[in-house]
Amino acid sequence: MIGTFVWHEILTTDTAAARAFYTDVVGWTARDSGVPGMDYTLLLTGETRVAGLMRQPDGAGQPGWVGYVGVEDVDAGAAKAVSLGGAVLMPPRDIPNVGRFAVIADPQGAAIAIFRGDGMPARPAAMAPGSIGWNELSATDMPAVWPFYAGLFGWREERAMDMGPMGTYRIFAAGDAVLGGMMTRSPGTPGPYWAYYIAVADIDAATARATAGGAKVLMGPMEVPGGAWVIQGSDPQGVMFALVGGRGK
């Protein structure tokens, strides 16, 4: 689990509305975490925990999705991020009976979290409906920021894809686990940012549910290598989300 994404979380301005939206679009179920003194919702596929949902704390940046990468030592990881040119956005802190985490930013400003726990729940298989199937960084300058992630998490390049005018798309892995991709964002597009693609059984049906629920589609559906289709959108609270899935015949 070290060097892999061990958790995903959405911070939003309206937890009830976000819960209704994502359970409808993705098919997740939701239940309270049961952590004393903490209003935190778990999002599940079957009985498998996939992600968390909570209200964005006041003064804690913009609402959005965040991914947590497992590390051996959160404090050492935060210090190493700084030594590699990054920054600490939220210093290391404990979640009672869960673990320790920090939020960091890479040298170009994209935020990501690091985590160490006594035991994380099993994750659904990558690309299974309801999983977070792909983790993608849109960087200001992908080749320049790659050493930060390779040095911090030990990620390796699985393969690189030439996308012509869009540059190189680098698929990265930790050990044998392929985790996602990163690229240089197009001029004039927002970023840098991490996008987390939620896997769905049918991209068109899920997109229809999303738009009916008040979302705006910002990109797609677009076919990607391997035959899957993706969209990026803005949910009813203005949080960017992404979906990946097949297309019905």
Q: What is the DSSP letter of 189?
A: S
- Condensed to tens digits (0 to 9), the pLDDT of residues 155-204 reads 999 999 887 777 899 999 998 899 999 999 988 777 799 999 999 999 99
In a shared domain, residues 138 and 109? no
CA 26-210-41 angle, to 5 degrees, is: 45
**Average pLDDT of the chain, as a whole number:** 92
Q: Which of 57, 106, 109, 54 is CA-nearest to residue 84?
A: 106
- Condensed to tens digits (0 to 9), the pLDDT of residues 87-127 reads 999 999 998 888 899 999 999 999 999 999 876 667 777 78
In a shared domain, residues 15 and 113? yes
Is 37 within a domain?
A: yes
In a shared domain, residues 137 and 242? yes
In a shared domain, residues 86 and 166? no
**Contacts for 228 with CB less than 8 Å, ≥ 6 apart:** 127, 203, 244, 245, 246
Average pLDDT over residues 34-55: 90
Given 117, 141, 157, which residue is the final one in a domain?
A: 117
**What is the count of structural domains for the chain?**
2
The two three-digit tokens of residue 230, written as one number: 């993706």
Question: 163 lies in which domain range?
Answer: 132-246
Is 124 within a domain?
A: no
CATH number (domain holding residue 204): 3.10.180.10
- Confidence (pLDDT) at 126: 78
Given 65, 91, 117, which residue is the final one in a domain?
A: 117
pTM assigned to the model: 0.94
How many CB atoms sit inside 10 A of residue 161's CB? Answer: 14
The two three-digit tokens of residue 121, written as one number: 């729940």
**Contacts for 105 with CB less than 8 Å, ≥ 6 apart:** 86, 87, 88, 89, 111, 112
- Condensed to tens digits (0 to 9), the pLDDT of residues 191-223 reads 799 999 999 999 999 999 999 999 999 998 999
**Contacts for 125 with CB less than 8 Å, ≥ 6 apart:** 131
